[in-house]
Amino acid sequence: MSEIRIQREPRETIGLIGLGLMGSAAAKRLLSAGYPVVGFDVNADKCRALQSLGGSPAASPKDVAQAAQWIVLSLPDSAVVREVVEGADGIVRAAHKHRYVTDTTTGDPEETIRLAERLAHRDIALLDATVSGSSRQFRDGEAVLMVGGDRAAFERCTDILAALSEKVFYLGPSGSGSKAKLAGNLVLGLNRLALAEGLVFARALGLDLERFLELLAVSPAYSAAVDSKGRKMLDADFTPQSRIRQHHKDVALILKYAGQAGQELPLSRVHADILEAAMAAGDGDLDNAAVIREIARRRRPSQPTNDPTEAPRK
């Protein structure tokens, strides 16, 4: 692995497609680094938000590609990526000859590899540059980019990648970034779940949760989830920085590829069940910290709780 910490004077316009939580964080980083940004999202409000940041909204992915030399994607899944790239209004329909597409989407590695092969026939290099971290961490420069694709294309894009994150790792051929994101999200998601269960258990024991969270931060039980999600769990602040519904999609991909490899992942199966129950209870669009609500709901009927993080099942 090689870590990139490079910044040079930017010159080119960057096209950004997908302006949700992660995409808007990417826009802020690119604009603050001095890159002109032209962007598109199916949600018109998000396009207006880009304009308020100093970017320029476009009417379609094709129009973004027409205006920009470099393209960055931040989309929900591989199916949307495929449509944005190859659909009727996709970026490959633009007359402008762009050469590099950087995809930060957490997608299906096999789909990523196939798309990269198809784009290579058009002399377009696709880098899967997945993000480890929440939208807040991405915006604040604390996230990590994990990149797969052609090595020469990676080296050509180091300026843009460095603008997106101070920590960039090249991991190998196409699909490597997507694979690393799934493996990393497995660990990250289970850390969040363990923190939620630990806090619920500590409360059941009658411990002071504020003090207990301080203890976790300096004990061998520490993980980065303590910093990123502990306070949100205690405050029942589930304003999304990353969503339960999106992480459930990631866990489904994790289990798919584990099945293909013949590898059992018992903790991830439990995690998937908990995320499914959380979505069934109406929590799918809440921050991932809201898994504590699902853990808290799993009480015996004879033992009700007044915990503010708990919500009844719908």
**pLDDT one-digit tens code per residue, 236-278:** 999 999 999 999 999 999 999 999 999 999 999 999 999 999 9
The predicted model gives 111-116 an average pLDDT of 97
Token readout for 150 is: 């052609």
> What pLDDT score was predicted for residue 71?
96
Q: What is the pLDDT of residues 12-34, one digit of tens each?
A: 899 999 999 999 999 999 999 99
Find the length of the chain: 314
Q: What is the pLDDT of residues 52-101, one digit of tens each?
A: 999 999 999 999 999 998 999 999 999 999 999 999 999 999 987 668 99
Nearest CA to 90 out of 111, 119, 110, 112 is that of 119
Place of tokens 């190859």: 86
The predicted model gives 287-306 an average pLDDT of 84
Confidence of residue 312 (pLDDT cuts 50, 70, 90): very low
Sorted by where each begins, the domain ranges of the chain are 3-173, 180-297
Q: What is the pLDDT of residues 148-179, one digit of tens each?
A: 999 999 999 999 999 999 999 999 999 999 99
Place of tokens 């998601």: 189
Nearest CA to 61 out of 1, 99, 17 is that of 17
The predicted model gives 205-230 an average pLDDT of 97
Helices 224-235, 176-204: axis angle to 10 degrees equals: 50
> What pLDDT score was predicted for residue 302?
63
> What pLDDT score was predicted for residue 11?
66
> What pLDDT score was predicted for residue 134?
87
Question: What distance separates the 2 farthest-apart alpha carbons in the chain?
Answer: 67
Q: Which fold has domain 180-297?
A: N-(1-d-carboxylethyl)-l-norvaline Dehydrogenase; domain 2 (1.10.1040)
**Per-residue pLDDT for 7 more than 70?**
no
% of residues, the chain, pLDDT over 90? 87
Nearest CA to 137 out of 17, 5, 205, 227 is that of 227
> CA-to-CA distance for 167 and 233, rounded, in angstroms?
27
Write the class of the CATH domain 3-173. Answer: alpha beta
Task: Return the bridge partners of 131, or none.
Answer: 145
> CA-to-CA distance for 200 and 61, rounded, in angstroms?
45
Confidence of residue 313 (pLDDT cuts 50, 70, 90): very low
The predicted model gives 198-214 an average pLDDT of 98
> What pLDDT score was predicted for residue 130?
96
Q: How many CA atoms lie within 13 A of 132 on its CB side?
A: 23
> What pLDDT score was predicted for residue 307?
57
